[in-house]
A = this chain, B = another copy of it.
Amino acid sequence: MDLTVEEAAAELNKGFQTLEILQKDPAVPVWFIYLNRPAQRNALSLPFFSELPRALALLDRIPSARALVLSARGPHFCSGIDLSSLKSISSSSEDDRAAAAEELRRRILDLQSAITALERCRKPVVAAIQGACIGGGVDLVAACDIRCCEDKAYFAVKEVDVGLVADLGTLQRLPKIVGFGNAMDLALTGRKVSAGEAKAMGLVSRVFADPAKMDEGIFALAKELAAKPALALMGTKAVMMKSRDMAVEKGLDYVATWNAGMLRSRELEEAVLAKLQKRKPNFSKM
């Protein structure tokens, strides 16, 4: 997708079926992506899985988007994958079990890829979670960079209860976030995790008193991120993602190689200068 900034903005303006995407304040380089099917408790339908990666690719192009917030309309963040979308998958080509299996495998890989787009996006993505975050919702937020929730939010890796092995990333990402023991417990029992327990095990890094407070707090946090040196922010995310699956020693070599070419002395100087002059530093866009 090799679009100009203007073309990307125009594409974004056309709107989405399952998402609402907006920049709340034109002066603030923060964009919001809302899951926007509140009547279905934001169940993840097939169109969602093609719209999310497209939206992220467009936002990646736009300089006014320096931090992203993934949020949801309605009282609940996400009730999981839309079972009707699974239906259409499993019913296809039942005449040949093996060919159907091969097709199912590719479809799952496609769905996974839509979630992984959150990690591939160069810009930081903050998840703001209210109400229920169930099944596929957990897969979704596990791929975000920072997770916050309000006090009444709760989480459940519910797949096992409808006869599914969770296949959109929870079983891979959750153990690295909350530890292997907690992750196994959640995935086998499907039990509810409250906001407080989620904070204690590292699933979220902040809990807000209520959704309104969360909106405020998240906007402030995203604004703060958006004001940081963009290249350093992007580099930090990319290096952490790459280092996650590498031996420590290989990760060290990787970041040395990264910084060899992408250390931006100009921003280092601006940071030092701003401190001396007791003013806010002024960093370049991406």
Name A254's contact: one of B146, B248, B257 (CB within 8 Å): B257
Between A and B, 25 residue pairs with Cβ closer than 8 Å are: A2-B50, A83-B272, A90-B268, A97-B261, A98-B231, A102-B231, A102-B234, A105-B259, A108-B259, A112-B256, A146-B181, A165-B232, A165-B262, A167-B259, A175-B243, A176-B180, A176-B248, A177-B179, A182-B202, A183-B240, A184-B237, A188-B236, A190-B228, A245-B250, A257-B257
Name A179's contact: one of B146, B179, B236 (CB within 8 Å): B179
What chain B residues lie within 8 Å of A263 (beta carbons)? 90, 98, 104, 164-165
The answer to whether B108 and A260 touch across the interface, beta carbons within 8 angstroms, is yes
Which of A10-18, A19-27, A154-162, A210-218 is near enough to bind chain B? Answer: A154-162
A259–B286 CA distance with the chains assembled, in angstroms: 20
The answer to whether A236 and B98 touch across the interface, beta carbons within 8 angstroms, is no
Identical subunits present: 6
Q: Closest CB-CB distance, A72 to chain B, in whole Å?
A: 19
A interface bracket (residues with beta carbon within 8 Å of B): 35 or more
